[in-house]
Amino acid sequence: MKTINNLFDFWEEGNRELFKNNDSSNEMIIKIINRSSRSTSFYFGFNILFYSAFILACIILVSMNLPMYAGNPVVRSVLIAQMVLCILFLSYGMFMFAKFRETKNYRKSITELLAGQLRFYKTYNDGWMVFSTLAVLILIFNLNIMVDYNNGIYPIYNKSLYIAINIAIFIFIYGIQKAGSLFNQRKLRNYLSDLESGLYGNTLKMEKQRKWQTVAFIVLFVVLTGVLILGILKSLESAN
Amino acid sequence: MNQQNRDEFVSLIQQNIGIIYKICNIYGGAFKDDLKQEIIYQLWKSFTSFKGNSKFQTWMYRVALNTALFESNREKRKFAELNPSYDIADHSENPEEKVILVNQLYRHISKLKKIDRAITLLYLEKCSYREIAEITGLSEKNVGVKLTRIKEKLRAMFERQNH
Do A171 and A71 lie in a common domain? no
Q: Which of B55, B78, B101 is the last residue of a domain?
A: B78
- DSSP track, A115-157: HHHHHHHHTHHHHHHHHHHHHHHHHHHHHHHHHT-BTTB---S
Residues B18 and B86 reside in one and the same domain: no
Residues B54 and B90 in one domain: no
Q: Which of B59, B78, B97 is the last residue of a domain?
A: B78
**Do residue B10 and residue A24 have CB atoms under 8 angstroms apart?**
no
Binary contact (A200, B113; C-beta < 8 A):
yes
pLDDT for the residue A64: 94
Please check whether residues B70 and B126 belong to one and the same domain. Answer: no
* pLDDT per position as a tens digit, B123-133: 999 899 999 99
Residue A52 included in any domain: yes
Burial per residue of A41-77, b for 16 or more beta-carbon CB atoms within 10 angstroms, e otherwise: beebbeebeebbebbebbbebbeebeebbeebeebbe
Q: How far apart are CA A92 and CA A97, in angstroms?
A: 9
Q: What is the pLDDT of residue A106?
A: 84
CA distance A134 to chain B (A): 29
What pLDDT is stored for residue B40 in this prediction? 92
Among B78, B108, B134, where does a domain finish? Answer: B78
The Cα B107–Cα A105 span in angstroms is 30
Candidates A1, A7, A190, partner chain B, best to mutate (most B CBs within 10 A): A7
Mutate one of A5, A13, A15 to test the B interface: name it (highest B CB count within 10 A).
Answer: A15
Contact residues, B window 33-92, toward A, CB-based 8 Å cutoff: 34, 36-38, 40-42, 44-46, 49, 59, 62-63, 65-67, 69-73, 87-89, 91-92
- From A95's Cα to the closest Cα of chain B, the distance in A is 21
Among A22, A191, A198, select the one facing B21 at the smallest CB separation.
A22
* A239 class by beta-carbon count within 10 Å (0-12 exposed, 13-18 middle, 19+ buried): exposed
What is the average pLDDT value for chain B, to the nearest integer?
81
Same domain flag for A145 and A51? yes
**Domain range for B148:** 80-163
In a domain, A235, yes or no: yes
Do residues B8 and B52 share a domain?
A: yes
Quick: pLDDT tens for B19-51: 999 999 898 877 888 889 889 988 998 888 787
pLDDT value at residue A201: 47
Judge whether B74 and A119 are in contact, CB under 8 Å: no
Instruction: Report the pLDDT value the prediction gives residue A121, as an integer from 0 to 100.
Output: 83
Count of structural domains within chain B: 2
Indicate whether B8 and B54 sit together in one domain. Answer: yes
pLDDT of residue B81: 40
- Is the Cβ pair B66, A113 closer than 8 Å? yes
B19 plus B92 within the same structural domain: no
The DSSP secondary structure of B116-136, one letter per residue, reads HHHHHHHHHTT--HHHHHHHH
Counting DSSP H helices and E strands in chain A, the numbers are: 9, 0
pLDDT, averaged per 10 consecutive residues of chain A (240 residues), comes to 63 81 79 68 74 90 93 92 94 88 83 84 86 91 88 83 87 85 77 61 54 72 76 66
Residues in chain B with CB shorter than 8 Å from the CB of A191 are 69, 114-115
pLDDT at residue number A209: 60
What's the pLDDT score for residue B82? 39
So what's the pLDDT on residue A4? 61
Is the Cβ pair B71, A22 closer than 8 Å?
no
Q: Is B149 on the interface with A (CB under 8 A)?
A: yes
Using an 8 Å CB-CB cutoff, list chain B residues near A194: 113, 115-116
Q: Do B151 and A111 touch (CB under 8 A)?
A: no
Residue of A11, A110, A200 with shortest CB distance to B124: A11
Portion of chain B with pLDDT greater than 90, in percent: 24
Q: Which of A2, A9, A39 sits opposite B71 (nearest CB)?
A: A39
Find the domain containing A221 and state its range: 157-240
Residue B138 has pLDDT above 80, yes or no: yes
For residue A6, list its beta bridge partners.
Answer: none
Check if the beta carbon of residue A94 is closer than 8 Å to that of residue A108.
no
